Homo-oligomer: A and B are copies of this chain.
């Protein structure tokens, strides 16, 4: 299963971009982008959207990867992780229903 960072690195290399070049466009130091690609640091939501744009990746797909990774990271250590996800799903349905 690919990480968000791996997806980004692959696509950056496909485009022939250096860390330095892509980082400049993101307005951050190359060190951070390196860490993001390697999974040492999390990107921000804004950076993910910019990256999708700059690398011609589908925004929604990359965002799903990114969000799911954050969620998994938050609860993977919990024995009850799966149950928490199930309840979260119901909660979200509930919230969306209520908003209409």
Contact = CB atoms under 8 A, between A and B. Distances in A.
Copy tally for this chain in the complex stands at 2
A74 interface: yes
A65 B1 CA distance: 28
B90 A75 contact: no
A71 B71 contact: yes
B94 A68 contact: no
Interface in A74-90: 74-76, 78-90
A91 interface: yes
Nearest to A94: B1
Nearest to A67: B84
In the complex, the 4 A-B pairs of residues with the closest C-beta atoms, listed nearest first: A68-B87, A67-B84, A72-B91, A68-B88
